[in-house]
Structure 1
């Protein structure tokens, strides 16, 4: 799943609400590694903790290590995930030495995978909980305090959907909504099925009820989450459930934008494309993992499509939605990849013209079939990574440059954005998901978070657009509603 479109606020929870006056059961801080599914899990972790009397630490308290509970929600998809996990809990061990009453918990995919290794290698960790055991975290912390040793809860079977747990949303106006958990695919490079289990789908009515609750709470945008989001309903015997859900989202009053991630090319049907194109609040944004442009490598990866199928889907999407912004994931240096295979990937990338691509050097994950295959030399992998990145970055910039002079609709997310303090801009995303820094013309009202602004794009940076409209020159700045 796509990690590249998350903000720092979405990765870290516990910042902003703590006052230092009411610590409750203790002040907590959550650090999240990984994809949107992990970020949403962290919202559930925060909800469970606050329902049990914990309070979020402020940014100042977290930076000063004035916290009582540190939670690391981990990822297991790539090799550096393990290094990042142990590096983080190693730093937290120093905090605990200064404050022995502080507790450390590790959850998520690495906890599910390496439960025994974590407690052996980092005995100062108080609680280790799996992807299916978020609700047990407060209980584990109490038991660790009483017994003076690490407590572990890892279930291999899903008993209740995480959506049944309370949540503290990272954003007031944009919400993640999980529609399924787990994965039925057997990609040889991927550890997800081992740590998330087989795919389970939520009932459509349950999903819609959560979406309506999010909107009632102030959300104007939802992102539907699943490991293979467009195969939603297959486990319930309804292969049309996902397009039905998209169309049903179009009937939710007050819901301005709907996105979803990540779909699988093999399950991207004509019905899904039609639902996207015909439902006004479903955004024309698509993150479609390619992984490789070589059919030989796709077979070795056990990906259930070939490049002709992939390109066919992209062509159909663009015929139905010419403005679609399509991004992808690509792995370079997969075991056995030859220069010819890599050239096929380069050719497909030039043909597909992705808006952007998240390119990863293959790293073996213990327990996956690909880890036992013959590996490509690291220097070769690095060279291919740099060559592919250069091609994609040039395409990305060309696509961004083409926006200059166009009008875009931006939903404001930050006020101001991270780089906007000196320019007095506000930041949001246009309908295709591109980041836009918007300058407010003199005499015009500054939009609030969640408001929609139609504006003229005046510049293109690296991976973002700027809109500093000159109203006297006929450029547009208009608040909607």
Structure 2
């Protein structure tokens, strides 16, 4: 009798994805994780396995944020000795900075194994295997979209909230932004495909979905329906009975914002009364130099119309200080618009040169000291406004979707955290018994007792607590995974007829 040798099983290779940048990058990283899971890799959890080095590290990069290049190459430098000590370890670099720098990355950091761009995320597993086989760096960057990201499998980072891309790319030419040259022209998904992905998430227990696009309200440009985004918002309302409780979107462009979107927000029960609409500057002269195709009066009229339809709407924004040529009078115009808009919060940036953008070569670059002084004044003005707006909510009941990782001091204060329907951050008190029962993904109602510029505190007893399927999934430690949802990029000829959603027709970040 011959004894068969025991089969030696090769342990699965582990991976870690490090993400920089905007919501687009975060969602792309979910796609990257889904691809690697599907290829047999296992995500390394640093908390569960501290000190272990992953077999593959993927950097998903940003080219917009300040010092993006230095941050990437600094981290690559830190990884070089780690890789030298771990034969077989691989490093991959993708995202916007990879699309911009292309072959320069492996010249500056020859220990990198794979470089891939924004248009070919789906190639990553093949490129990693090819690099191992050939023992040579693989650089593959396409100039146009290979497959729409939503055709790829996804490992979602949250059991209760999910991103859904409705478009990629951008048709604008803002002089401070390099995104259009890295992400390409706008490509829109068909409404039926978007709704199919949303429905798949809801089936997994997800309660909240954020519709994502560089300019979400230009959605429909490819298939000739300028009202498509409002129709899409209304169509998500049909999924409320299946468990979709909150719908958000980011980011619209003021120049393309239409009244039908306001009406859809106000009339669709699960669409949250929250609007993130980038201002960038309150000066018409600066907006003109930025090639932002709206002016301050147009922006303020949108704010007025939104508040007329939804008095409780929380409006947030993006603002750049110190754009080339900005004068003291221009900056005062920004402060004026900020005061009139009464923002709930704002993402603020000091302008800095981004190579490859028209603004980088403009004359009259504003001195750093002047930019800093204006920036400090803007922050002070915003904090005064956001604090005053938050104080109006003291004594009111708020509905909170319990989150994980929102409150850094929760353990010390005995509070938990989450987001109200209008997007505000809420820290709420729980008794020891409640702390064991309330889970991320559950819904609580509580009363605001204190307001700060950037958050609300609720220190009284909970009004109510509702357990949800999303909370069940979190408690079970179950990652939300969705398969790729087919896109249907525009083709020649009449598209196939899409079934209309039950009860009605289905029909950025700057």
Alignment partner, residue 409 of structure 1? 399
2:417 aligned with 1:438: no
Cα displacement string for residues 145-191 of structure 1 (whole angstroms, at most 9, x for unaligned residues):
22222111111111321000000000011000000000000000100
Structure 1 residue 458, shift from structure 2 partner: 1.1
Deviation at 1:382, TM superposition (A): 1.2
In 1, Cα distance between equivalents of 2:120 and 2:89: 21
CA 1:194–1:238 in 2, change beyond 3 Å: closer, same or farther? same
Match of 1:11 in 2: none
Greater shift in the superposed pair: 302-311 or 59-68: 59-68
Alpha-carbon distance in structure 1 between the residues aligned to 2:150 and 2:171: 20
Taking the aligned partners of 1:337 and 1:449, their CA distance within structure 2 comes to 45
Q: What does residue 77 of structure 1 align with? A: 64
Give the whole-Å Cα distance in 2 for the aligned partners of 1:467 and 1:166: 39
Query: Does 2:390 correspond to 1:397?
Result: no
Separation (CA, whole Å) in 1 of partners of 2:283 and 2:336:
10
From 76, 80, 83, the equivalent of 1:89 is: 76
Q: For structure 1, which segment, 192-201 or 24-33, has the greater mean C-alpha deviation from structure 2 after superposition?
A: 24-33
Deviation at 1:442, TM superposition (A): 6.7
CA contact (8 A) 1:365 1:371 kept: yes
The residue aligned with 2:168 is 181
Q: CA deviation at 1:462?
A: 4.4
Question: Is the Cα–Cα contact under 8 Å of residues 127 and 144 in structure 1 kept in the other structure?
Answer: yes
TM-score, normalised with respect to structure 1:
0.92
Q: Aligned partners of 1:51 and 1:273: how far apart in 2? A: 40
Return the alpha-carbon distance in structure 2 between the equivalents of residues 138 and 47 of structure 1.
Answer: 11
Q: Once the 2 structures are TM-superposed, how far is the Cα of residue 134 of structure 1 from its aligned partner?
A: 0.9
- Of 77-86 and 247-256, more deviation after overlay is shown by 77-86
**Alignment check: 8 A CA contact 2:398 2:420 kept:** yes
- 1:479 matched to 2:486: no
Q: Retained in 2: the 8 A contact 1:24–1:53?
A: no
Bigger relative contact order (CA 8 A; separation at least 6): 2
Does the 8 Å contact 2:278/2:319 carry over to 1?
yes
Contact kept, 8 Å, 1:61 with 1:67, in 2: the verdict is no
1:170 to 138, 145, 157: 157
**Distance verdict in 2 for CA 1:177–1:288, change over 3 Å:** same
Q: Which residue of 2 aligns with 1:373?
A: 362
SS of the equivalent of 1:152 reads strand
| 59-68 vs 176-185, which moves further | 59-68
**In the superposition, relative to structure 1, how do residues 289 and 248 fare at CA in structure 2: closer, same or farther (>3 Å)?**
same
Query: Is the aligned partner of 1:450 residue 2:441?
Result: yes
* Aligned position for 1:335: 324
Matched, 1:349 2:335: no
Secondary structure of the equivalent of 2:382?
helix
Range with greater deviation from structure 2 (70-79 or 458-467): 458-467
Provide the C-alpha distance between the structure 2 equivalents of 1:150 and 1:365, rounded to a whole number of angstroms: 28
Shift of 1:207: 0.2
> 1:51 Cα shift?
0.4
Alpha-carbon distance between aligned partners in 2 of 1:159 and 1:236, rounded to the nearest angstrom = 19
Partner residue of 2:257 out of 268, 275, 281: 268
CA distance in 2, matches of 1:224, 1:175: 9
One of 279, 282, 289 as aligned partner of 1:300: 289
8 A Cα contact 2:46 2:52, kept in partner: no
Deviates more, 1:188-197 or 1:408-417: 408-417
Counterpart for residue 227 of structure 1: 214
Q: Which residue in 2 is equivalent to 1:18?
A: none
331-340 or 435-444, which deviates more = 435-444
Runs of 4+ in 1 over 3 A off after TM superposition: 22-25, 60-63, 415-418, 441-446
Contact 1:415–1:426 under 8 Å retained in 2: no
CA distance in 1, matches of 2:349, 2:394: 30
The one of 297, 312, 318 equivalent to 2:307 is 318
Task: State the SS of the aligned residue for 1:246.
Answer: helix
Whether 1:104 and 2:91 are equivalent positions in the alignment is: yes
Distance 1:415 1:130, change over 3 A: closer
Distance 1:159 1:421 in 2: 45
Distance change in 2, residues 1:191/1:416 (3 Å): closer
Query: Aligned-pair distance for 1:69?
Result: 0.6
Whole-Å Cα distance in 2 between the matches of residues 465 and 424 of structure 1? 15
TM-score by length of 2: 0.86
Matched, 1:126 2:113: yes
* Cα 1:23/1:209, change in 2 over 3 Å: farther
What residue in structure 1 maps to residue 452 of structure 2?
461
Following the alignment from structure 2 to structure 1, what is the Cα–Cα distance between the partners of residues 420 and 431?
19
How many residue pairs were aligned? 455
**CA pair 415-113 structure 1, distance change in 2 beyond 3 A:** closer
Query: Which ranges of structure 1 fall in alignment gaps of 5 or more residues?
Result: 1-21, 471-475
Q: Classify 1:453/1:60 alpha carbon distance in 2 versus 1 (closer, same or farther; 3 Å).
A: closer
Provide the C-alpha distance between the structure 2 equivalents of 1:418 and 1:344, rounded to a whole number of angstroms: 36
The answer to whether the Cα contact below 8 Å between 2:419 and 2:426 also exists between their aligned partners in 1 is: yes
How far apart are residue 98 of structure 1 and its match?
1.7
Structure 2 residue matching 1:409: 3-state secondary structure: strand
Whose Rg is larger?
Answer: 2
In the alignment, structure 2 segments of 5+ residues that lack a partner are 1-8, 468-510
